Amino acid sequence: MTETDLDDTDLDELVARWLPFYEDAHRHPELSGQEVRTTTRIEAELDRLGVEHFRVSETGVVGVLHNGPGETVAFRADIDGLPVTEETGLPYASTDRAELNGNEVGVMHACGHDTHFTSLLATVEHLRTHPELWAGTIVLLFQPAEETGSGAAEMIAGGVWDRAPRPSVVLGQHVMPLEIGMTALKAQNLMSLADSFTVTVRGKQAHGSQPNAAIDPIVTSASMIMKLQTIVSREVAPGAGVVVTVGSIAGGTAPNIIPDLCTFTVNIRTPDERTRESVLAALRRILQSEAEAVRASVDIGELNRFPRCYNDPEQTTVVVAALSEEFGADQVLRMPAAATGSEDVGAFADAIDVPLVYWYFGGFPPGAPTISNHSPKFGPDGPGALRTGVSAALAVLLRYRGRP
């Protein structure tokens, strides 16, 4: 046994108790900002476990677990699902639907957030039943709307750090297509910063037979989209970790009408604040210049903005030691570079200027096909993912608040 004092039998029993909760959560995901059922169920479990809790946003819940005097740490778990129709074939697969932007969409825990909050609740149960293992205070952050990059900011604006004890460190974890029992992390920037925009190009409508009378927003948009790709190829150094994606475009009503309006969306991922500023300046310069060249106009509207996810080097060393003791040093992967995915967990730490450590954990059997998060086929092994998530969370929390 490691410092979690949780042998295989105890862990199996703990996971078995929480597996029905996990499967129900997976069967009934909710979109960002709509996590009413999920939040209510989390609150019910916190009540059952005797944990003080309160809301700081419409669906953001904070739990405070006290066990005498000592250090305060925070642990965050996100709770929202995605507008993805599930294709895992799991017996507890989601068939739920929801409304998004006026359209009905399938909903799925395609990023594994159900493993995150279930693992944290199971961890809380173990800590509640074994107070002899630890001392101090653990702040539990059950965060909505991670996928839209707004949930952490909403909880901070709602006064989370005015009402909850301020921690010395913020912790968190994310399931990934890694083998069960594996973890991965790195110091400094773990993930990318991200910015999404909607771009509206306004021109002049005309009949398709009279293009000279038009200012074509579709052709202009096409030129903008192609020119934006030169940000990666010509504006930043090779290997800088910058990604520019145009994910949607809409304009026009008929093949023989040049419309007066075209819209598209852009997603930008950058490794650090300095690169972000440079790339966003290039984005605006290109869009404005392309519009001006043809006498069109362009409006750039911000959709969402993800903060940095920066792992404090000193505290990362503490977490690596805890994970290595729990799983074995060879099961703790040291990532060579930041991932191009994004997270808003870092906002909790940056808001009060304390360290963050965030890591990945595996939820798939050895030899399983590599299926990335956000895929309709992303289906972690429930028991295996929970075993890894609970073990990792306990190992790290008890490294901070273990026996003297």
Which tens digits make up the pLDDT trace of 76-85? 999 999 999 9
For position 6, what pLDDT does the model report?
Answer: 73
Alpha-carbon span 149 to 287, nearest angstrom: 24
Please say if the pLDDT value at position 343 is more than 70.
Answer: yes
Total-model pTM? 0.93
End-to-end CA distance of the chain: 18
Q: What confidence category does residue 121 fall into, taking pLDDT thresholds of 50, 70 and 90?
A: very high
Tokens found for residue 199: 């771009």
Region of 112 please: left (phi>0), alpha (psi -120 to 50) or beta: left
Torsion of CA 25, 31, 32, 34, to 10 degrees: -90
Alpha-carbon span 129 to 314, nearest angstrom: 31
Burial class for 13, CB neighbours closer than 10 Å (0-12, 13-18, 19+) = exposed
Q: How far is CA 255 from the centre of its chain?
A: 40
Question: Residue 309: which residues within 8 A CB-CB, separation 6 or more?
Answer: 189, 190, 191, 342, 343, 345, 346, 356, 358
For position 404, what pLDDT does the model report?
Answer: 44
Q: In this structure, which amino acid lies at residue 221?
A: S
Torsion of CA 322, 326, 331, 335, to 10 degrees: -20
Alpha-carbon span 231 to 100, nearest angstrom: 31
Which tens digits make up the pLDDT trace of 250-304? 999 999 999 999 999 999 999 999 999 999 999 999 999 999 999 999 999 999 9
Please say if the pLDDT value at position 56 is more than 70.
Answer: yes
Query: Are 236 and 242 contacting, i.e. CB atoms less than 8 angstroms apart?
Result: yes
Angle made by CA atoms 98, 101, 107, in degrees to the nearest 5: 25
Query: Are 197 and 224 contacting, i.e. CB atoms less than 8 angstroms apart?
Result: no
Fold that domain 8-187+312-401 belongs to in CATH:
Aminopeptidase (3.40.630)
Please say if the pLDDT value at position 165 is more than 60.
Answer: yes
Stretch 179-205: mean pLDDT: 97
CATH of domain 193-306: 3.30.70.360
Please say if the pLDDT value at position 7 is more than 90.
Answer: no
What are the boundaries of each domain within the chain?
A: 8-187+312-401, 193-306
For position 102, what pLDDT does the model report?
Answer: 92
Alpha-carbon span 384 to 218, nearest angstrom: 49
Burial class for 78, CB neighbours closer than 10 Å (0-12, 13-18, 19+) = buried
How high is the mean pLDDT of the chain? 96
Alpha-carbon span 395 to 322, nearest angstrom: 6
Q: In this structure, which amino acid lies at residue 191?
A: M
Share of the chain above pLDDT 90, in %: 96
Which tens digits make up the pLDDT trace of 289-311? 999 999 999 999 999 999 999 99
Query: Are 30 and 113 contacting, i.e. CB atoms less than 8 angstroms apart?
Result: no
Alpha-carbon span 98 to 358, nearest angstrom: 30
Q: In this structure, which amino acid lies at residue 292?
A: E
Cα dist from 223 to 52, 220, 226, 227, 265, whole Å = 56, 5, 5, 6, 14
Give one DSSP letter per residue of 49-62, joined into a string: TT-EEEESSSS-EE
